[in-house]
Structure 1
Amino acid sequence: MTQNVTLASIGSQTPASVAAPFIIRGRLVDAEQVHHKSRDLGMDFVTPEIDLDALISSRVEPGPLFDVKLDEILDFLAATGEAMKQDRSGYLADCVDKIALTNVLPRQQIEYQMQIAAEYLHKGRLLEYAERNLGNARLLDEWVPSTDSTGRRSFTRAFPPRLVHVLPGNAPVSAVQSIALASMVKAVNVFKMGSSDPFMAVAILRTMMDVDPDHPVLRSMSAVYWRGGDERVEQAIYRPQYFDKIVAWGGGDAISNVIKYLMPGLQLVSFDPKTSISLIGAEALVDDTTLEDVAARAAADVGMGNQEPCVSSRVLFVEGERARIDRFCDSLQRNLAERSALIGKAPPLPGELAEEIETLRMFDDEFGVWGAPDGNGLVVLSDGPADFHPIRKTANVVPVRSLKDALKYVNVATQTVGVYPPARIPELRDGLASGGAQRVVQLGDAGGQSIGAPHDAMYIMHRFVHWIVHEDGFEAGGFEAGKA
């Protein structure tokens, strides 16, 4: 077995493996018993054995948060955010060190995600999120009455669910959002961490332990790792007698693996693989100043997270003459390279893909290539979307006569569409929605987020909760009035 070496003991030397403890129902489990390997970088990490009896609670047992008021939950989340900013116990600093060993993201980007994770736990913004998602946050605390047009009265509540969260490994910040939303809906939760980041969720929960080790939010949380597809664990956990929904982020294989366990009573809330694009009108090419500005905006969308997140743009449809589009491609590549110098480059492209792109340079009538497949930024121009999937700061630019010609390439896997100029969004958004796109923004703002806005065509909290209604008949006239 590989000996575990702590980060503190080796300084800048790469350890043989790193420890990845668990949180089980609010308690730290720090044994080093099972060796795993991270997906992207092949780094060994060591976890405890999963104790299924400790992990799973019976439905007969109410969840720790079921009767806790939302206001108290938000206070605790906000206190956790402040504790994360101070990081007195060093959990987040240690987490950054470890993620840098298992994840393809540059260290600067991991550190930035830690900062925005702490900022996310803001009481006012979280309450605003709940109000926008549910229409009325009171639904989380009480049975809200209403009377329909026939006089029939009912009471509705957004009841706490039991959730398994399959977290993504490509965006550590997603852990804080999942923990916050799960807390607000008062769920009983198991977070399955990814092999590229088996650390972030635990670091947040350990920070919660410093704030209040016995708080109901913490006791409703478990964060563990098992290899996706491990039937010994998944056949035991993915059952409706224990959980209502599986909340799955990830690639096609991860989602397909979860789907096979679905059955009546066990639903899927899926954040499945998406691709984002850009639509750039001829207005962007009218002069060099505008072109440079638009290229910088496009580079921000393409280069975000080294193109690991679904929200990062991959295919850019551009109106205009070939000579001006070539000029745009050159500027886009330079801007990507400048971003790499500031926040770190991506890993080089895989060998076969790099060779395929290098071959395209010989076909300059059909293709154009700017940059190199070294992770600093690459632009490939082609008459239609390329056969390969652009990754690691690779932009595929496709000339079109009209932006409306690009609508035929939009489908249900199209997540975010960045548009320039913004004035053209109204003429395009209905067609984009009809094709299946889920979000339209100004070019350069793909990484922004309106508080409580839909994500992947759904209101997340609305999908999380267990909606239950108590129908109380008619206010006047009784049952016979209803029959009439």
Structure 2
Amino acid sequence: MSEHSDFTVSAPFFYRGEVVEGDESIHRSRDLGVSFATPRFAFDKAIPPRTEVPPLLNVPTDEIIDFLVETGQRLVAPDNEHVHDCFDRMASTHILPRSVFENVGKHAVAYLDKRILKAELEQNFPDTRALDRWVPLQDFTGRKAWVRAFAPRLIHVLPGNSPGVAIKSVAQGALVKGINLFKMSSADPFYMVAILRTMAAIDPEHPIVRSMSAAYWRGGDAAVENVIYRPQYFDKIVAWGGGDAINNVVKYIGPGFQLVSFDPKTSISMIGREALVSEETMEAAADRASADLMMLNQEACAASRFQFVEGPQDLVDRFSEKFHRRIAERAALSGDVRPLSSDLKEEVEALMMMDDEYGVWGRSDGKGLVIRSDQPVDFHPINKIGNVVRVDSLDDAVRYVNVATQTIGFYPSDRMADYRDRLSAGGAQRVCPLGEAGPSTFGTPWDGMYPLHRFVNWAVNENGPVDGGTEDNEVYLNA
């Protein structure tokens, strides 16, 4: 063991059923700068040969779903030492309190539900049979073909803000029958391995286990990325994360090597004047808005940053006061008492001195803050900060929507239909009732796409025109 082992947390890797421990490499976590130790990256273990047929290719999707459901049950079992150990280690590297990310991890396991997984497949694929076999098609000229959603080779660049992404990524990688390499984040180089170790404990030889690897390397490390980010090894990068993470992988994209990007997004709220007609409606809207803002303590991409409120300033200020109180209540319950970063604190305190232009509720202490302004502030609200932007009409808020706008929480719901076309034209990808930014309808697009449909490689076997008459065609199409 090296000298680092006494004061650094260890982060093992997982290669297709094999757990690899080691402390040859020392890294620092993204947010807290805490050291953690990993083994060296093993290229021979992480890169399966192209000649290998994907282990999951001929496993029926129903069997894959059953295994994922069992995995979910094991992940929340009280005696799962892999998960408990993971959370112990994550507590030293993650910016969120243990109670928060542990709770998020437990709730995320609900995704591993047979009904949810089937809904994902049914909405992503016009004919889900294409995942299990070659499906016959015939065009109007009589020419026929066989089509398959073929198992891809995927590198998943994971974010560090939510354990839930790890759960979803494992499920999606398995559902498309891919060979998967998960690049873990420096904020969380543990949870993905805990999931895969849980799977291996169920069946170490299962094709899902033999299809999955998880490792950490520093983003931008040319010694690793110049080797593995190549089409002879992988088909696509599925990238989550901030601008630097996405920009880093873009330079590797070329023929045969594609990017599926869940890139940086900003979510907002649009609150109509109907919310301000009484104390009761203000309280209800403020509570819903605070729920959207406090998603993962405002670390999630769907967490609202800006709240556009329609109405006169005196009523908007009353709403802002109630909104701040609700945020502070949720913040206190979460146990997250992080102070603002020094740069963000300076930005906020400068605004607090400009009473004639801004209204401010709360302090720059990370316990909840609301800033009221006539246009969005020029910094990124995070760590429980809401920016209430007063507008005369919600029409005025539409101009702030762009291709980076992911989720819009809208109040009242019966006005959504009047705005959804304009919001979508501006670039917004999702409009939902205020307070419902967290849950989403199962199987719907995310970040403007059906992800599973994008993950697979669509393969075609052309077979020429059908011989014979109508009867032969019917036999073919019913094959």
Give the structure-2-normalised TM-score.
0.95
User: What's 1:11 paired with?
Assistant: none
Match of 1:80 among 66, 71, 95: 71
Instruction: Give 1:54 shift.
Output: 1.7
Report Cα offsets for 1:147-190 as digits up to 9, x if no partner.
Answer: 22333322211000000000001111100100000001110111
C-alpha contact 2:181 2:212 (8 A) present in aligned 1:
yes
Matched, 1:166 2:167: no
> Secondary structure, in 3 states, of the residue corresponding to 1:86?
coil
User: Following the alignment from structure 2 to structure 1, what is the Cα–Cα distance between the partners of residues 271 and 128?
Assistant: 39
User: What's 1:207 paired with?
Assistant: 198
Instruction: Give 1:471 shift.
Output: 2.4
Match of 2:328 among 334, 337, 345: 337
Instruction: Give 1:111 shift.
Output: 1.5
Q: How does 1:402-413 map to 2 (within 5 A)?
A: 402-413=393-404
Unpaired runs of at least 5, structure 2: 470-479
- Matched letter for residue 399 of structure 2: K
C-alpha contact 1:306 1:346 (8 A) present in aligned 2:
no
Report Cα offsets for 1:425-451 as digits up to 9, x if no partner.
Answer: 000100000000000010000001211
Matched, 1:445 2:436: yes
C-alpha contact 2:54 2:178 (8 A) present in aligned 1:
yes
User: Following the alignment from structure 1 to structure 2, what is the Cα–Cα distance between the partners of residues 135 and 104?
Assistant: 41
C-alpha contact 2:74 2:80 (8 A) present in aligned 1:
no
User: Following the alignment from structure 1 to structure 2, what is the Cα–Cα distance between the partners of residues 268 and 62?
Assistant: 22
User: What's 2:302 paired with?
Assistant: 311
Match of 1:232 among 223, 230, 237: 223
User: What's 2:114 paired with?
Assistant: 123
User: Following the alignment from structure 2 to structure 1, what is the Cα–Cα distance between the partners of residues 429 and 80?
Assistant: 40
Q: How does 1:41-440 map to 2 (within 5 A)?
A: 41-440=32-431
Report Cα offsets for 1:76-124 as digits up to 9, x if no partner.
Answer: 1111111112152411112222222211112222121221232221122
> Secondary structure, in 3 states, of the residue corresponding to 1:111?
helix
User: Following the alignment from structure 1 to structure 2, what is the Cα–Cα distance between the partners of residues 419 and 225?
Assistant: 39
C-alpha contact 1:382 1:398 (8 A) present in aligned 2:
yes
C-alpha contact 1:105 1:346 (8 A) present in aligned 2:
no
Identity %, equivalent residues: 54
> Secondary structure, in 3 states, of the residue corresponding to 1:104?
coil
Matched, 1:460 2:451: yes
> Secondary structure, in 3 states, of the residue corresponding to 1:75?
helix
User: Following the alignment from structure 1 to structure 2, what is the Cα–Cα distance between the partners of residues 31 and 106?
Assistant: 27
- Matched letter for residue 130 of structure 1: L
C-alpha contact 1:104 1:346 (8 A) present in aligned 2:
no
- What is the aligned length? 468
User: Following the alignment from structure 2 to structure 1, what is the Cα–Cα distance between the partners of residues 304 and 282?
Assistant: 18
> Secondary structure, in 3 states, of the residue corresponding to 1:314?
strand
> Secondary structure, in 3 states, of the residue corresponding to 1:357?
helix
C-alpha contact 2:331 2:384 (8 A) present in aligned 1:
no
C-alpha contact 1:92 1:114 (8 A) present in aligned 2:
no
User: Following the alignment from structure 2 to structure 1, what is the Cα–Cα distance between the partners of residues 77 and 344?
Assistant: 43
C-alpha contact 1:346 1:392 (8 A) present in aligned 2:
no
User: What's 2:4 paired with?
Assistant: 3
User: Following the alignment from structure 1 to structure 2, what is the Cα–Cα distance between the partners of residues 374 and 79?
Assistant: 43
Give the structure-1-normalised TM-score.
0.94
Stretch deviating more after TM superposition (372-381 or 85-94)? 85-94
Stretch deviating more after TM superposition (399-408 or 192-201)? 399-408
User: What's 2:475 paired with?
Assistant: none
User: Following the alignment from structure 2 to structure 1, what is the Cα–Cα distance between the partners of residues 27 and 247?
Assistant: 22
- Matched letter for residue 458 of structure 1: M
Instruction: Give 1:476 shift.
Output: 4.5
User: Following the alignment from structure 1 to structure 2, what is the Cα–Cα distance between the partners of residues 398 and 114?
Assistant: 33
